[in-house]
């Protein structure tokens, strides 16, 4: 009776397997394609799949639902060898394994392979050769120019070769923006074609513009291997290289069996290992190679685990190959950059308009201040006119919304009337023929400035971009890295050997990024773990339904704005003034002049202790009448109220990194919270208050009547939680030094 029950349960599984085989294109009634109960010396194979010449291709061994089909390996291998079938499928109707038993272990797959898939894989196996036998070209022609393969590109290819020869099927390659990531992918694909390891490739991107950009590269470098871009709605699958966006391939997933592609390359893969797109990638039983320009410390664990690069012992991701931005700059392959930092009064404090308070985070989301945006454009124009150069510098401006982009573009064109409205152009998804607009920006002298909203911030490659203008705040380190990367390519044609970031919204300051030049001892540091900042970036504040704000635009001339964070330092007997940035640069220059000759600075460089007398002697030397480099002035310039001379000297030498304002506030705040032992509901209000302070508020009683606290009951609610006297004490504590 037990045998009968087992046979019955296995028959139930075979009903499902029949359906799955049909879905993969097999006609199970055609004995020229599929035979069942094929006899062998040791038993009967449940199914035998045949090629177009009726030769054995694969044995299919089925098991009942409750049994893991992986346990049937030994039995199925005996059948396959007897029948001379090169492949095996193991299935219980729910889980299916594919086993190329002479090459690797059985792998869980999403579907059966088609007859054509198996024939193709079988043919490929006969002509495969080791990747190590395929030479890496030293030079080649690309887009009409002779290209020399860079050392790191060769190293990347060799690392990929080694990993694949070790039978690894998932690899993660991290290469900084501007290092030729797509071209390296093309070189890799060509080598895999030449070695007979792959025949069909899927190249996944997250935007159609990037698909077209990749096709340009493949059409040139891989011209002998036809490529196509899939668009929504089409079912065409011709082409050895299929390029598509994640949504398009997901829409057409039923057109592809699990074995359709031999290689899947996912560009900017850190954005793809989520939700339905993770299942899309898992559908393909292929070699998976992820490409990313995002630094390793910002990629999440899911991405590492998918590509087999997560180290459970160190709890860190370990990409297959890494070539980062600093290495690229130091090696001379990427452009160093500087940051021009300026913040306006309204940007920092928000604005009261017609009796209503608007916080900094409301700017361009619920209110637009035309004077503020014009101030940005004026500052850009004035600074550009002071810089050396014989041509207008191509510039990308990152705006918050399409309305914001339109306003900035209008001001640019008003500031440069000689170009008759063509100096700046909006490039967004709403632009009439955005691809033509991008082509104009790249190929023609006008527009000089492209103002974009979430279109040119990732994957856009144009080496001649010499300026980036950040008018869109972000707390996502990944997004900031992507925006910054738009300027990282060198461009000898326009004499570009560095680029400038105009940061009017505090992004660079938030991430402690003061620019990077290999000849200056500066370092860029990401201030927060990615998990925290990513959450801040995507989670919007929940506003009660009854609070609906209509968008407001304050016309030009109605709300004066001015710069408040191009700080000026007063120094000297007559109170001369100098810009804080210039003051810091001059101080660093002075320290470096003394770095190899002054014994005290040499001791600091060698991490030796210095005496109070030596510090005083150094202070007298630096505090000369030209710039008056003393602790008081340096504290203002660096915005470090507790800094000392030794810290400032070490900072100038690149040996010390000051905490940001947010770090200082957070440390003081946390210590205060612990000391006072506040209740959870009180802490919740205080954390909102801390965020208001960081956004520019002054930590006074009025803050309790502003969003977001106002949305939870405002001042009345705060009095209820703290009590009147308790609330007064809180405000006093804050004003007397908690928020230093």
pLDDT exceeds cutoff 60 at 547:
no
Homologous superfamily of the 131-329 domain (CATH): P-loop containing nucleotide triphosphate hydrolases (3.40.50.300)
DSSP state of 491: B
**What phi and psi, each to the nearest 5 degrees, are found at residue 392?**
-65, 135
Mean pLDDT of 635-644: 79
Buried b (16+ CB within 10 A) or exposed e, 495-510: ebeebbbbbbbbbbbb
What contacts 96, CB < 8 A, 6 or more positions away?
Answer: 20, 69, 89, 90, 108, 109, 110, 111, 112
pLDDT for res 363: 95
Mean pLDDT of 379-393: 89
pLDDT digits (tens, 9 = 90+) for 41-74: 888 999 999 999 999 999 999 998 888 899 999 9
Q: The CATH number of 2-127 is which of 3.90.1570.30, 3.30.70.260, 3.30.950.10, 3.40.980.10?
A: 3.90.1570.30
Q: CB–CB of 630/623 below 8 Å?
A: yes
Least confident of 382-386, 470-474, 532-536: 532-536
**How far is the C-alpha of 340 from the C-alpha of 728, rounded, in Å?**
40
Confidence band for 215, pLDDT divided at 50, 70 and 90: very high
Q: Looking at per-residue confidence, does 232 or 659 come out higher?
A: 659
**How far is the C-alpha of 51 from the C-alpha of 599, rounded, in Å?**
82
Element (H, E) at 568: strand 568-571
Q: Looking at per-residue confidence, does 191 or 708 come out higher?
A: 191
**How far is the C-alpha of 704 from the C-alpha of 707, rounded, in Å?**
8
pLDDT digits (tens, 9 = 90+) for 68-97: 899 999 999 999 999 999 999 999 999 999
pLDDT for res 490: 93
pLDDT exceeds cutoff 90 at 306:
no
pLDDT exceeds cutoff 90 at 373:
yes
Is the link from the previous residue into 72 a cis peptide, with omega within 30 of 0?
A: no
336-554 has which fold? Rossmann fold (3.40.50)
- Please state, for a pLDDT cut of 90, what percent of the chain lies above it: 46
**How far is the C-alpha of 320 from the C-alpha of 632, rounded, in Å?**
49
Mean pLDDT of 692-712: 66
**How far is the C-alpha of 498 from the C-alpha of 550, rounded, in Å?**
42
pLDDT for res 535: 32
Residue 59's DSSP bridge partners are: 48, 88
Buried b (16+ CB within 10 A) or exposed e, 32-45: ebbbeebeeeeeeb
Mean pLDDT of 263-278: 74
Q: pTM to 2 decimals? A: 0.70
Mean pLDDT of 706-731: 78
- Which range, 531-535, 612-616, 663-667, has the best average confidence (pLDDT)? 612-616
Domain chopping of the chain, boundaries: 2-127, 131-329, 336-554, 568-652, 661-738
Confidence band for 2, pLDDT divided at 50, 70 and 90: very low
pLDDT for res 4: 43
Confidence band for 641, pLDDT divided at 50, 70 and 90: confident
Mean pLDDT of 390-395: 93
For 175, other C-beta atoms within 10 Å of its C-beta total 25
pLDDT for res 464: 96
pLDDT exceeds cutoff 70 at 134:
yes
Confidence band for 544, pLDDT divided at 50, 70 and 90: very low
What mean pLDDT, rounded, does the chain reach?
84
Confidence band for 735, pLDDT divided at 50, 70 and 90: low
Buried b (16+ CB within 10 A) or exposed e, 393-410: bbbbbbbbbbebbbbbbb
- Alpha carbon dihedral 439, 442, 443, 446, in 10-degree steps, equals 100
Confidence band for 532, pLDDT divided at 50, 70 and 90: very low
C-alpha distances out from residue 199 to 76, 173, 580, Å: 28, 21, 59
Three-state DSSP class for 631? helix
pLDDT for res 189: 97
- Quick one: tokens of 721? 């939680």
pLDDT for res 625: 64
Alpha carbons within 13 A on the beta-carbon side of 319: 24
- Quick one: tokens of 225? 């291997």
Mean pLDDT of 435-457: 91
Mean pLDDT of 447-459: 87
Q: CB–CB of 38/60 below 8 Å?
A: no
Let me know if the fold of 131-329 is the same as that of 336-554.
Answer: yes
pLDDT exceeds cutoff 90 at 262:
yes
C-alpha distances out from residue 157 to 151, 161, 553, Å: 10, 6, 53
pLDDT digits (tens, 9 = 90+) for 239-258: 799 999 888 888 888 889 99
**For residue 628, is it left (φ>0), alpha (ψ between -120 and 50) or beta?**
left
pLDDT exceeds cutoff 90 at 517:
no
Q: What is the DSSP string of 114-169?
A: PHHHHHHHHHHHHH---GGGSPPPSEEEETTEEEEPPHHHHHHHHHHHHHHHTT--
pLDDT exceeds cutoff 80 at 567:
no
**How far is the C-alpha of 225 from the C-alpha of 193, rounded, in Å?**
9
Q: CB–CB of 633/571 below 8 Å?
A: yes
Mean pLDDT of 409-433: 92
pLDDT for res 116: 94
Mean pLDDT of 119-145: 90
Confidence band for 640, pLDDT divided at 50, 70 and 90: confident
**How far is the C-alpha of 215 from the C-alpha of 725, rounded, in Å?**
68
**How far is the C-alpha of 242 from the C-alpha of 261, rounded, in Å?**
9
């Amino acid at each position: 009776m037990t045998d009968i029950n087992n046979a019955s349960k296995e028959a139930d599984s075979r009903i499902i397997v029949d359906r799955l085989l049909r879905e993969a294109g097999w006609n199970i009634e055609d004995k020229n394609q599929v035979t069942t109960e094929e006899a062998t010396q040791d038993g009967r194979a449940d199914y035998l799949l045949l090629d177009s010449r009726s030769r054995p291709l694969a044995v299919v061994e089925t098991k009942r639902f409750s049994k893991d089909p992986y346990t049937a390996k030994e039995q199925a291998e005996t059948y396959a060898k007897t029948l001379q079938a090169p492949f095996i499928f193991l299935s219980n109707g729910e889980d299916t394994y594919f086993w190329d038993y002479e090459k690797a272990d059985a792998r869980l797959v999403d579907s059966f392979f088609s007859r054509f898939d198996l024939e193709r894989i079988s043919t490929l196996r006969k002509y495969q050769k080791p990747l190590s036998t395929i030479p890496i070209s030293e030079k080649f022609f690309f887009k009409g120019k002779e290209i020399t393969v860079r050392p790191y590109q060769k190293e990347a290819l060799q690392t990929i070769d080694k990993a694949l020869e070790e039978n690894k099927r998932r690899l993660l390659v991290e290469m900084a923006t501007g290092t030729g990531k797509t071209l390296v992918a093309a070189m890799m694909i060509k080598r895999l074609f030449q070695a007979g390891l792959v025949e069909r490739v899927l190249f996944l991107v997250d935007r159609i513009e990037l698909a077209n950009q990749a096709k340009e590269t493949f059409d040139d470098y891989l011209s002998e291997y036809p490529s196509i871009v899939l668009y929504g709605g089409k079912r065409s699958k011709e082409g050895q290289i299929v390029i598509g966006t994640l949504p398009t391939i997901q829409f057409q997933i039923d057109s592809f069996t699990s074995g359709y592609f031999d290689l899947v390359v996912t560009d900017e893969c850190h954005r793809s290992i989520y939700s339905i797109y993770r299942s899309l990638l898992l559908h393909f039983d292929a070699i998976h190679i992820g490409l990313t320009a995002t630094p390793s410390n910002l990629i999440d664990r899911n991405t590492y685990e998918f590509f087999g690069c997560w180290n459970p012992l160190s709890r860190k991701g370990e990409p297959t190959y890494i070539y980062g931005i600093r290495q690229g700059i130091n090696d001379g392959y990427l452009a160093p950059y500087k940051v021009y930092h300026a913040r306006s009064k309204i940007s920092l404090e928000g604005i009261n308009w017609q009796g209503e308070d608007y916080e900094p985070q409301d700017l361009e989301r619920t209110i637009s201040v035309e004077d503020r945006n014009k101030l940005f454009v004026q500052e850009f124009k004035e600074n550009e006119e002071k810089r050396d150069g014989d041509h207008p510098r191509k510039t990308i401006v990152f705006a918050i919304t399409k309305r914001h982009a339109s306003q900035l573009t209008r001001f640019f064109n008003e500031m440069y009337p000689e170009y008759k409205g063509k100096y700046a152009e909006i490039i967004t998804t709403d632009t009439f023929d955005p691809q033509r607009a991008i082509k104009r920006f790249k190929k023609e002298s006008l527009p000089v400035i492209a103002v974009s909203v979430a279109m040119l911030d990732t994957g856009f490659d144009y080496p001649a971009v010499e300026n980036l203008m950040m008018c869109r705040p972000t707390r996502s380190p990944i997004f900031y890295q992507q925006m910054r990367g738009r300027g990282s390519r060198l461009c000898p044609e326009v004499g570009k050997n560095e680029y400038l970031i105009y940061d009017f919204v505090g992004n660079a300051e938030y991430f402690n990024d003061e620019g990077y030049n290999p000849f200056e001892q500066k370092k860029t540091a990401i201030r927060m773990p990615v998990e925290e900042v990513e959450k801040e970036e995507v989670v919007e504040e929940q506003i009660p339904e009854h609070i609906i704000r209509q968008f407001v635009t304050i016309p030009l001339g109605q709300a004066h704005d001015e710069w408040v964070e191009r700080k000026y330092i007063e120094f000297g007997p007559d109170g001369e003034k100098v810009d804080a940035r210039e003051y810091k640069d001059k101080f660093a220059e002075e320290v470096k002049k003394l770095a190899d000759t002054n014994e005290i600075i040499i001791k600091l460089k060698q991490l030796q202790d210095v005496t109070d007398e030596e510090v005083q002697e150094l202070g007298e030397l630096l505090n000369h009448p030209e710039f008056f480099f003393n602790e008081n002035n340096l504290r203002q310039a660096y915005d470090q109220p507790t800094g000392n001379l030794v810290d400032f000297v070490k900072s100038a030498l690149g040996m010390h990194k000051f905490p940001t304002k947010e770090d200082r506030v957070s440390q003081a705040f946390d210590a205060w919270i612990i000391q006072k032992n506040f209740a959870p509901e009180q802490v919740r209000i205080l954390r909102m208050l801390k965020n208001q302070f960081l956004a520019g508020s002054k930590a006074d009683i009025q803050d309790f009547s502003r969003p977001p606290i106002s949305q939870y009951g405002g001042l009345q609610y705060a009095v209820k939680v703290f009590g009147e006297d308790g609330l007064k004490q809180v405000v006093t504590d804050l004003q007397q030094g908690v928020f230093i």
